[in-house]
Structure 1
């Protein structure tokens, strides 16, 4: 819909004038006895920025209140349609009867997990940013895949080849348990309940912090037609979290105020053929979020373990973790009235330890760096840059600053190793404004029991670090000596 087509749509169009996918959706709803259908492109003016800003933050109400959400998973364009020619025998259920010594004989249904991943979890439509939110918020989904139709609601996950479904989904190796839960049941207030008394216990809080980080990581890898939609296309999910868990908390451009010490430690995801030091994307030319937010860059990000006791893989486990940056003040200014959508600027004030940091050289996985006046060479260090620097700028030799974010001790089999993790900043101008550059992690060596590593390495206590962005600037870190 736009200014030119609005009157014709209000007057009514014959079905033959609608694209095939829209006609098929109407047919499906007619069979289900549902009278109304919401299609974004027909219900929101596509050429009105004002209407988009008003309607986009309401998507939680639209999809969260819908009877069912229809997903055309493999549709390339509106004319592709929901229905495809197929061989019916390809989706027939395969039943296997198994006999066990100590168990009664049972019938088991065998299904193709790889086909499911291709058809459901990795379908092209699921890689779109707006669809990520829609799938999480919808109470029920009718998913039209390439090979068959799937059903998902809060109680059941089923398909044509698996008609009786299951309420206990066993994820494949490519699907985490949290993701499997979202695939099966979506995201609802019922699943994010507070404990009696209005507070959550430590285990529940850890789970939901990790769930948010996991969702953000998956969401950041999605594709957007307009990259400026990155925050608003996640606002509905943020509203659900706020209603159930973070009531009274502040949502800050993709991060929660109460969990900032943990959530500030995001990093750009680096593929095997990519360099930690050389990012492949620049920061957006138009301001989107402060540089301390993952939403300030394009492309996927990730979080490492967020709490003590986390399993890293194999037998490695985090024995101790201490977050060392104290949040003094933090806020963002929304572009409109909705503070879960786009922002005009943000301010972050932290008290922590700051040291001069300089990258001297980087060859493969080995980097040579100077921190606090001490030159180090460590194959166990990583400096992951958030985004490409400005043209003609070289990272090596540039004067940077390392803000100590956390230290932790990992049991790696027969030895305990200590690590330091820093948020790396650079000075923007002579007024002590700083911008986040990336994140730096180094192994400081073996330890025998706990010792205050941060006191040994970071002897300078920073009075205050202030981050701010205004106007056309991206984001500022202001350090007050």
Structure 2
């Protein structure tokens, strides 16, 4: 190890606190610029941190003579300048570097340099974040919590992760989970003495106990899945080497926790029996909610990668250190900057592979405690605490996060909180927007994958659930909007009036002022026993103004989902219509109508009409299906009396 004299003088445990900040101005790549809070006439920068090298030239000279820490910081500074420079003109950092403690606790330091920008009081570029890590056998291992991140699930790692759960049991009375009703089937993981063999077991009656769940991305070989034809052999025994690596790792972790049972959907649900799949998937919410712990393979793209996917080694430098007469070494290891400055990024894990999967959307909020194996590190989350491998320990932040989740907002410890109906509906809209962006292995799972949360919302809403919408608020519910170019699905899974009929992000960002349409009747045929799951068909009989749309000289606008149309009596310039999917490609073969649903206000407070774009469906002239939507001023639709000319149609 080679360090320059300036680096050797860094007071590792006595650095100044991270400065107060007004805001994060911008972020790009892996770096951020923050604006420091001003304190009177004095520049905030004058009092920030521990002075390091006085200039960039000094830093580069130290790197050139072999200082390992300087080499890391030079590389990070150059990368940060390039990243931020992609989105704004950046004055070159030339006033040197300052070191502070990490903003959210944890051992290590943050490297800052001034970055003067227009409209900022004191812009500061976050150059790097370093964490102090120790090996398990180092004399300082009891002083520093962080460990070097590994890409294998070894015995030491298992012991450390189970220690977090044990601490939670001993210190958080609200997190203690009593024996709960066991799912229909579980994997009996045995113990280390069981060696390479586990088995599938049936749990009859009202048996209670503890079990662990696994949340993961499917993909990979499916020959190991449980079916009616192979269930007998799986009850006799399953060899670990016959299972994908993620399952193998989950079994080892469950054994390390001294928990007897593990629930994995592909092993505990018959994959060739639609009735069993429907019954068990309808209970998915309670299966995760009742679990002792959820193991979340968040960073793996499929079941073959294991709980701990391959990780790129982080730059680090070994530093000698002494505390309480204990001499040892710490590894100053580079951390992702954005997840440190924007700490909620660590909690949301939006860029992880599992965060793109629809089924996982309800698995996480239902789970009371989780060990999250992300692509960069392992986290433990409970109702009280958030811990990560890099030594961060956040008290109460998990409550802040989970309390803000659209599901948690209506529940408290499994009991429904008194929440006003309009607030519950707003939460549901937010939930649909978040959920609709996620991907499915099987498109037909669109409604089943959110059925557990829908069941809980039905209790809070006090309304019947109809193919993703709520019966008592049906007119307002019809006004969902495709936010991006959604994709049509090849097989039927929902009526055209439901957001579940398309793949892609949908939302509703307007407030109903006055309903124009009236829902006269409705019927939805459920496909199976789960009232919140798959549907076979559905229709709504609706009364509303119905205007023919014309396109004599229409022009395509960007994006491609937008087309210019007009009504017979509306403004000559027409208006832009948004199509739900790429139906725009066959626009010339369609007869299109505008079905006015309500008068609403947008985010700017403007009063507008909202209409569905519909087209005839089948041979019945009064039967239509939805293909898009439009919002606009009254003059674009025609004179006011158009609202009195109403038609009764059936939407399918």
TM-score bracket, shorter-length normalisation: 0.7 to 0.9
- The alignment status of 1:461 with 2:651, answered yes or no, reads no
Alpha-carbon displacement from aligned partner over 1:18-40 (angstroms, at most 9, x marks no partner): 33222221222233332210011
Q: Equivalent residue for 2:613?
A: 424
- Is the counterpart of residue 225 in structure 1 residue 414 in structure 2? no
Give the structure 2 partner of residue 146 of structure 1: 375
Which structure has the higher relative contact order (CA within 8 Å, separation 6+)?
Answer: 1
Aligned-residue offset at 1:140: 1.9
> Secondary structure in 2 aligned to 1:126?
helix
| 1:246 counterpart = 2:429 | no
Larger radius of gyration between Structure 1 and Structure 2:
2
Q: 2:572 aligns with which of 362, 376, 382?
A: 376
1:134-173 to 2 correspondence within 5 Å?
134-161=363-390, 163-168=392-397
Equivalent pairs counted in the alignment come to: 402
Q: Residues 38-93 of structure 1: CA distance to partner in whole angstroms, max 9, x if unpaired?
A: 01111112233332223221212211211221110121332322235676887x9x
Relative distance call for 1:184 and 1:227 in structure 2 (3 A) is closer
Deviations 1:84-140 (CA, angstroms, capped at 9, x unpaired): 5676887x9xxxxxxxxxxxxxxxxx9243894598222011111111121122222
- Tell me what 1:28 maps to: 253
* Partner residue in 2 for 1:434: 624
Please give the alpha-carbon distance, in whole angstroms, between the structure 2 residues aligned to 1:130 and 1:410: 32
Are the aligned partners of 1:138 and 1:186 in contact in 2 as well (CA < 8 Å)? no
1:364 is displaced (CA, Å) by 2.1
1:208 CA displacement: 1.7
> TM-score with structure 1 length normalisation?
0.74
CA contact (8 A) 1:152 1:185 kept: no
User: How far has the Cα of 1:235 moved from its partner?
Assistant: 0.6
User: Cα 1:342–1:119, aligned 2, differ >3 Å: closer, same or farther?
Assistant: closer
Identify the residue that residue 103 of structure 1 maps to in structure 2: none
Distance in structure 2 (CA, Å) of the matches to 1:407 and 1:37: 52
Contact 2:482 2:580 in 1 (8 A): yes
CA-based RMSD = 3.5
- Higher mean alpha-carbon deviation, 328-337 vs 365-374, is at 365-374
1:324 matched to 2:516? The reply is yes
1:354, 1:404 within 8 Å by CA — same for their partners in 2? yes
What is residue 335 of structure 1 aligned with on the other side?
527
Alpha-carbon distance in structure 2 between the residues aligned to 1:458 and 1:162: 65
**Residue 344 of structure 1: SS of its match in structure 2?**
strand
Does residue 351 of structure 2 align to residue 122 of structure 1? yes
Secondary structure of 1:347's partner? strand
TM-score normalised by the chain length of structure 2: 0.55
- Contact kept? 1:139, 1:186, Cα under 8 Å: no
Contact kept? 2:601, 2:608, Cα under 8 Å: yes
Give, in whole Å, the separation in 2 of the partners of 1:368 and 1:78: 47
In 2: Cα distance, 1:411 partner to 1:216 partner: 19
Match of 2:423 in 1: 207
**Contact in 1 for aligned 2:546/2:647 (Cα 8 Å):** no
Structure-2 residue corresponding to 1:364: 557
CA distance in 2 between partners of 1:150 and 1:458 (Å): 58
Matched, 1:443 2:637: no
